[in-house]
Structure 1
Amino acid sequence: MRSAARLAGTAALTAVAALWAGAAPAAADEADVERYLDEVAVELAEPGVWIDPDAGGIIGDVEAAQLDDAAAEAPGNGMRIAVVPAWKLDPEGQERLFGRTLLYEGEELASQMYDRVGVDGVYAVMSVADSSYDGRGLFAVQHSEEGPTYYVEDAIDQAVDCCAPNYGPMIDRFIERSSDVDHPLYRDAAPWAAGAAGISGGWWGATALSARRRRRTEEQRHLDVVRPLLTEEVIELSDRVSDLPTTSDVTQAALTKEILDTVEKARHRLDATKTDGDVQAVTTLLGTARYKIACLEALQQGRPVPEPTPPCFFDPRHGPSTQRRQWSPAGGVQREVPVCDQDAARLDAGEAPAARQAGSRSYWEGGEDLVAYIEGYWNGSAGSTGSWRFPHDDHARARGSLWSRWDSRRPRARLASMGRSLSKAASSAMTSSGDGSSGSGSGGGWGGGSSSGRSRRRSFGGGSSRRSSRRSGGGRRF
């Protein structure tokens, strides 16, 4: 049904675009961008996610379909999201050699789509490039004459902070957060509206306590899933290190003692585990122990001590990775993953390596329950000074959703939300006051005032005359 509606809307908007095709552009190079935006608007006649074929297959077909459905079903008339190459938004196109200057920047780019489609709702444009310098960014805005205001500006920050530069998880996080209603100030301010220090202090404490309790409940659920995995790994590694041979070599003997101590620390930490932080500490210790075992084996065989590497992607129990191979998840995009020698041989032979299982699923499909488990292994567990990026988007999506939710419940985050609401209320009041004293207003034509200073061009829905409907928006390069 939605596909049929989109086809009907596309046909109608295509006809309108054809009527306007003869309008005289300001300049040939800018006109190319304007015509392209008209074409994108046709694709956004119905809510959903449209990906320009020239964007280079950055999102798998299955994930793209899921994102399209999520955007179409979002509250407030759905969302319209375009994923486009940054060079098509640059008046110089692919001829520019250094950096990239977009014809429209920030939320103005998303407002351009609103002007052309002319339907109230949330609009977003994801510009695809190799870096922020080349124009890579996320720009979004909500224009609505009525109905609630959504957290569009905050959604941009959360999407970039949690998931950049993974386009699929970024769009997923943006849709999730910008579906939340930005409540009026009085609703957030109610707990301390009396203004008394005691009440505000009580609100802070109650909010913090509620946040901790809700987090502990979620962490207990995570622990119920991950404790059997950790218990199995600690026992397995304990048996392995108990069989390490004694040696008269001072260096090897010291390393053997470090391995035994590390495994013992992991066992004690597991016994006392209550939080995700504890889970992460246990897997960090287990990863460190396996790396030290690899170092000990190298010394015993007369080889150089290996550099720290991420664990084998398919099963961290295999120890540090030694090679890299191309691999594609079901319905996903091919990517490079670190693997051990055994799994590399299986992939080379066309076989699927046996993945670490969490219940009936591969561990990277465990969602929020396995976030801490993965983070411990992939954030410097082998003594690295940095961290390694886990090469599966499901983890980035789950981590971003979990951490953002926990952070949003804290008193400081709640106060920040109140501050944003107060700022928006003050801005709205000033805008209303300015409208009332401005006399007859602006003149006719296609104008209406662009934040970039450019004159407004043709608009499918006449949205440029309704810029006062702007609710929330912003943009970030990343």
Structure 2
Amino acid sequence: MKDALTRTLVRLLIVPVAAALAVLMAGAPGAQAATDLSVVAQELRERPVYVDPEARDILAESDAEALADKIEDADKPVFVAVLPADYPTENLFRNLRTETGVTGLYGIRLGDEFDARADSSVLSRDGVRNLVTAVQGAGDAKAQLNDFVDDALRNTGGSAPGSWSEGSGGDVPVGGLITVGAVLAAGGVGAYTLVRRNRRRHEEEQRAALERLRVVVDEDITAFGEELDRLDFHPAEPGADDAMRADYEHALDAYERSKSFMAAARKPEDVRAVTQAVEDGRFALVSLAARRERRPLPERRPPCFFDPRHGPSVADAAWTPPGGAAREVPVCAADRARIADGLDPAVREVDTDYGRRPYWDAGPAYGPWAGGYFGGGLLPGLLVGTMLGGMMAGPGYAADYGAGYGDFGGYGGGDVSGADFDSGDFGGDFGGGGDFGGGF
């Protein structure tokens, strides 16, 4: 937070000086606008918004700065360029992406026109098309670009390139800062207040999601503790051996870890470690029970899909969610028998704003909860066609609730790929991004 505040204050102090220099240079003999695409790319590697010198009548410098700050505060790989109407458009997006070399979403305002392209790893082509269509006819450049960025920040995956923060940490002339510091101090405080308010609102949303999730996780931990009590195992009891004692110690450690992880959780994605510990401890209990009863040791399987409190699954069974496609899910013995008899399984339901619902229809915060139980790439196949599965498949999910769920994670926005990208993501004529008939 302190680094972000420093960067914001430095920008606010530098802008008037830079504007004055720009005016002086504009009036100097031989001064020309830097319209070469490599220059545009270089500027975008340093800052998310670039306004060509010949396009400053389209978007004011102060509006460009505010737009850039919004993008940087959201930590998303969204790039905006404002260019004059006569700028060459042939292969514009493809060449800009090649020159910039950074994975992300690129929006260009060209005179009165606007279009965008993105790497499919951060936003699908349909997603880009929808964003462009939504802001066509939005008014002047300021309104249109702000609408575009607001929508983009909610839907784009990945994080901002590191070069933005690196570029803001250079040496700044102390004398210049002192000269304009008193004038702009109030503006700096205002910018800091806005950034802090936005972040505080996001943190409050995360805390609210965590508190709702905490009820379910506490139920899991309590149920696990009750299983430990019912086992009634004593390390010194007759017949106990080292393997039994190791299983029991493992289960106890998992129980303590789950409580500790939950106490330290600050956002929904932290819950993943909790349910991982509970799942690990439950398997240790099942193994211990098998040793005590002289049965074969169980196969290490994921917990029952319908309610992880049922313990490790014993088989896979065909299941079709309402309105979805059939898939194989891991089930406990009791739910396997229910399904075989044509009955509904005993589904884990949780409280929502719409009453009790299955956990896969309860909201995005349950992704980390389920991910701890069904890790290793298993979760995507289980949740396809459910509300939670749809949310996790969206690029914006990883930023708020964490990744690591197999096919649902791994959005690589902001990484430097150079010219190694899918050129098809950036093809088509300028102006085709909002055309539902094609353009990509």
Please, what TM-score do these two structures have when normalized by structure 1? 0.45
